[in-house]
Structures are given as structure tokens and as C-alpha cells.
Structure 1
Amino acid sequence: MMKNLIYYLILLLTIFSCKPKENMVYMEKEKNIAESKIKQVVFYGTHIQSGDVLDIKVTAFDENAVRPFNLYSMNNATNPEQVILGQVEQIAPQGYLVDNEGYIYFPVLGKLYIKGMTLAQLRADIEKRLFTYLSDPLVSIKQLNFNVTVLGEVKKPGQYTNPSDKITILQALGLAGDMTDFGNRTNVKLIREEEGVSKTYVIDFTDKNITNSPYYYIQQNDVLYVEPDLIKKKTANVDPNRNLIFQVGGIALGVATLLISLLR
């Protein structure tokens, strides 16, 4: 009787230990059967938020004419408080900081409300304003502090600053070193602030049509949270000595099996 019980225990341990882990492959499932071809959502640009830092440069054929419209560092300015057309020039080599109300202070043009605009919209708006002063203005804009935070079951959780505002959820995950084996790939949470309200969206990384998701492109200050799968959740809520108990039990089971085979 004891011999049969041991054999049954060994068989059960073998079966459960060999069970494959599910949902480990990205973009494996086809959720929308009617969609036979994978598409990719169009990138329209991220929306400017309070706290963003922007590098804005104005160029034109006449270099002297555009000088009043560009920021200068302390090293390049002969006078840190140089007054240009009644405006005190900003000495901010780090760029333009969008204040809590959504404004920046632009040389000559003054106070501009830019919150909610994309970089392309802001570029067009500034160029339109500059036509009053310049015949051929060309504006280039770059975001200096585009941040995304990746937390949970990833190999390198933390906040990352990307050199470009065009970044996908897959690329953001790559910055954090990919998910661990215990990450739940079917229920990743994207936390995004929209119109001052924090909203949470669920993304399934095993869905083939993820590239067509409206959340495929990251917005400024998005947070990706990879929750643990059921196995990790269960092990996190048990006695930390449980693994030791199983190891000791396994050794005892092995010794008992060996003794039975010797006594046969």
C-alpha cells in the first residue's frame, strides 16, 4: 500500500512539474477573426503636458533676424538680462518649461498657451506667428524629457527618458529589459492622464492586433504595469518556508523510493 502511494505521488509530481506555461509568446493570438491582416495605428504625435521641457529653435535665411527668437545660454549671452523688444530674454539652456497652467514664455512672442498641442501643431502655430517678423521662418521642436515608467514583472523596472516622443508600448517594454517569466502578458495595465484624469487601460501583449491598438504609442508620462501571473501571486502569499518544506519532502520521498527498491 505504501509502495503504491509513493508511486502515485511521484507520478503527480512529474505531471505538474512538466506542465508548460501558457501565454508566453507576444502577438500569438488572433482575437479579431475578421481581421486577417495586421495593421498599425497612425502616429499623430504626443500631446504637450505641464512639466514638459521643449527645445525650440528658429532658423531663417537671415541669421541676425532670427537671433531675438532663440534662447541663449549663459556662455553665449553677453548680458544675461538682455532686453529685446521689451521682453527679457530667458536664459534657459535646458529649454522651455511648460508651466502648471500650460504656458511657455517665448522671446518676442510672449506668453503662449501650448498644453494639449502636438509638437507638429505647436511648430505650425509658432511659424504662423513668426511670419509677422520673418519672411521665411523655420521652427524645429524636440521634447527633452519624454518619460515613461515601466513597473511590475519586468527585468529592469523604473522611469526612462526617451530621446524621441515616438515610442511604442513594445519599445517601452524593451527599455525595461522585457517581462520576466512570471509577467501576465494578457493583462498589462497602461495608466495615462487624460484631461487631468488618470485612466487605466488593459493591453493584451499576446494579441496579434496590438499594433492597431489606440494605445500602441506611448504618451508623455505613461505608466506600464505588468502584473504577476497566478503562479507568482500564489507563491507571494504563502509561507516563505514552503519551498524548503517541499525540498525536504522531495528528498524524503526520493530516499523512501530508494529504500523500497532495495528491499524488493
Structure 2
Amino acid sequence: MKQNHKNIFRLIILVLVLNSCNSYEKLTYLQDVEITEKASIFEKQKPGYQIQAGDLLYVQIITENQEINQLFNPTMSSASSQYIRPETMFYTGYLVNDSGFIEMPLLEKIYVSGLNIDQISDSIKQKAFRFLKNPQVIAKLANFKFTVLGEVKVPGVKQVTANQVNIMEALAYGGDISYNGNRKKILLLRQTAEGTQSYRINLAKGNIVDSDMYYIMPNDIIYVEPLKSTLFREQASDYVFVVSALSSTLTAVALILNLLK
């Protein structure tokens, strides 16, 4: 009986070890992408996120007149104008109101809803030309944030200063998918005018770069599912503990019975 218990225990340990070895295919991105001289697969046009009510914009207008610069950028000195910190963008940004407008000194109301960042920069620049000489406009989305959950190394809400972030970069902000993450089963939740839309992403396939989900949008939620082997290991570890405890108990009982004979 004691030998049978040991064999069962060894068998469970062996199954655990075999299932803990994730294959190369489970850990590799873009497996079907062929290496060629052409890079057309990565030439997808970046979609422009359309600004909507509630978004926060950072806008900097630079001219040759320092007094004018201080009017539009009161917290930015000429020495620091090239470096834009996230906290600075938050406190000096322009909130898009429910009507789709932002209000700026001298330029007053500017309609930005439904426009992308480049279009907003052009619109502000055209209006600034009426009052200023050779203005230069820098515009950014100040509240580009997204959430990464599940089997990643650093889950949480991520705040970035970039105007565009793709799914690979988003996962990199989360420390990359962990060893136990399923690269073929990633859930993307996106807020739209119609409500929350859900998408399934398979990062093992190269066609993701041609997908509408390749570039994420502000407020997206990315969830990486665990591999089935991960769930098995967690459950099996509980079984091993129970079997080990039971085996020890039976061994102790057998020993006591032998002593009583």
C-alpha cells in the first residue's frame, strides 16, 4: 500500500512538470509573419483618434514674442518649453466641454470634437494667424490612458503622452505578457458612442497589424487570459497537497497498526 501511494504521488508530480513546460508556439508573437525584403505588412495607416467631450488637450503656442508665449503657456519657461511633463499637461490643459469646444486666451472658443490631433493643431494655427505672427502650435492628448489586466507582469492603469499607441506597446507598458499568459486569447474592451464593444485578439497571427485593434484608443481595457496549463497547475497543486497529506496519514496509520500487531 505504501508503495502504491508513492507511485501515485510520483505520477502527479510528473504530470505537473510536463504541463509546466509551455511550448515555443505558446510564447511567440506573430508566428506566421515571413521575413522578406518588403515590409508592407507593417505599413498600416495610423487611425486618428477623434477627440470627444471630456477629453483633456494640452496646447502650446510658441511665437517670437516671449510675452505672448507666457500668455498661452504661463507655467512654461523658454528653457523648458521643449520638455512636456504629464503633470504639467494635466494642470495646463484645455477640457473639451459638452458642446465640443475648448476656450483659449485671445482665440476664444475653438471647436475640436470629432477632430484628430493633427486637425486640431491646424485649426488652432489658422485661428492664431489672425492675431499672432508666425505661431507654432503643439497639441497633445493629455489624458491618453488605458488599462492592462490579467496575465501581464505589471497590470494597472497606464498614462502615456503619445498620441498613438499600438497593442504591442500597450502590453510593453504592462511589462509584457507573463509566462502564463495566453497570447492567442486577449480581450479588448472599447468605449464607443454605441456602448462598450468587445474584441478578441490573437497576437500569434501576423494579420493583427492590419486589424482595427492594432492601435488602441484612450480608455481601452486589455485583458490577457491565462493558459489552460496555468489553471491546471494551480488546481493540481491543491491536489498534490491533499494527496500528500492523505499519503502521510495512511502511512502513519499503517505504521501504528504494524506496531500494535
SS in 2 for 1:99: coil
From the superposition, tell whether residues 31 and 142 of structure 1 become closer, same or farther in structure 2 (CA, over 3 Å).
closer
Return the alpha-carbon distance in structure 2 between the equivalents of residues 108 and 21 of structure 1. 61
Tell me by how many angstroms 1:178 deviates.
1.8
Q: How does 1:2-17 map to 2 (within 5 A)?
A: 14=14, 17=17
Unmatched 5+ stretches in structure 2: 78-89, 251-261
Return the alpha-carbon distance in structure 1 between the equivalents of residues 240 and 3 of structure 2. 25
Corresponding position of 2:162: 164
Tell me by how many angstroms 1:171 deviates.
1.6
Q: Deviations over 1:41-93 (max 9, x none)?
A: 222443323333222111234445x45861535x9xxxxxxxxxxxxxxxx94
TM superposition score normalised by structure 1: 0.70
Tell me by how many angstroms 1:221 deviates.
1.4
Kept in 1, the 8 Å contact 2:146–2:220? The answer is yes
From the superposition, tell whether residues 211 and 51 of structure 1 become closer, same or farther in structure 2 (CA, over 3 Å).
same
Return the alpha-carbon distance in structure 2 between the equivalents of residues 162 and 226 of structure 1. 20
Corresponding position of 1:50: 53
Determine which of 165, 184, 193 is the counterpart of 2:191: 193
SS in 1 for 2:215: coil
Larger relative helix fraction: 2
TM superposition score normalised by structure 2: 0.71
2:215 matched to 1:217?
Answer: yes
Corresponding position of 1:242: 239
Code of the residue aligned with 1:162 in structure 2: it is V
Tell me by how many angstroms 1:251 deviates.
7.3
Tell me by how many angstroms 1:109 deviates.
2.6
Tell me by how many angstroms 1:9 deviates.
8.0
Kept in 2, the 8 Å contact 1:38–1:212? The answer is no
Kept in 1, the 8 Å contact 2:9–2:244? The answer is no
Kept in 1, the 8 Å contact 2:110–2:124? The answer is no
Kept in 2, the 8 Å contact 1:53–1:98? The answer is yes
Return the alpha-carbon distance in structure 1 between the equivalents of residues 66 and 205 of structure 2. 52
Tell me by how many angstroms 1:159 deviates.
0.3
SS in 1 for 2:176: coil
Tell me by how many angstroms 1:133 deviates.
2.1
Return the alpha-carbon distance in structure 2 between the equivalents of residues 13 and 61 of structure 1. 73
From the superposition, tell whether residues 3 and 250 of structure 1 become closer, same or farther in structure 2 (CA, over 3 Å).
closer
Determine which of 223, 226, 230 is the counterpart of 2:224: 226
Corresponding position of 1:175: 173
What percent identity do the matched residue pairs reach?
Answer: 27
Task: Write out the 4+ residue segments of structure 1 that deviate beyond 6 Å after TM superposition.
Answer: 1-9, 249-253
Q: How does 1:61-140 map to 2 (within 5 A)?
A: 61-64=64-67, 66-67=68-69, 70-73=72-75, 93-140=91-138
Kept in 2, the 8 Å contact 1:47–1:220? The answer is no
From the superposition, tell whether residues 30 and 250 of structure 1 become closer, same or farther in structure 2 (CA, over 3 Å).
farther
Corresponding position of 1:26: 28
Number of aligned positions between the proteins: 234
Tell me by how many angstroms 1:2 deviates.
9.9
C-alpha RMSD of matched pairs (Å):
3.9
Q: Deviations over 1:218-259 (max 9, x none)?
A: 2211111112232344567x6985341144468799xxxxxx
From the superposition, tell whether residues 38 and 21 of structure 1 become closer, same or farther in structure 2 (CA, over 3 Å).
farther
Return the alpha-carbon distance in structure 2 between the equivalents of residues 248 and 61 of structure 1. 79
Corresponding position of 2:152: 154
SS in 1 for 2:119: helix
From the superposition, tell whether residues 217 and 11 of structure 1 become closer, same or farther in structure 2 (CA, over 3 Å).
same
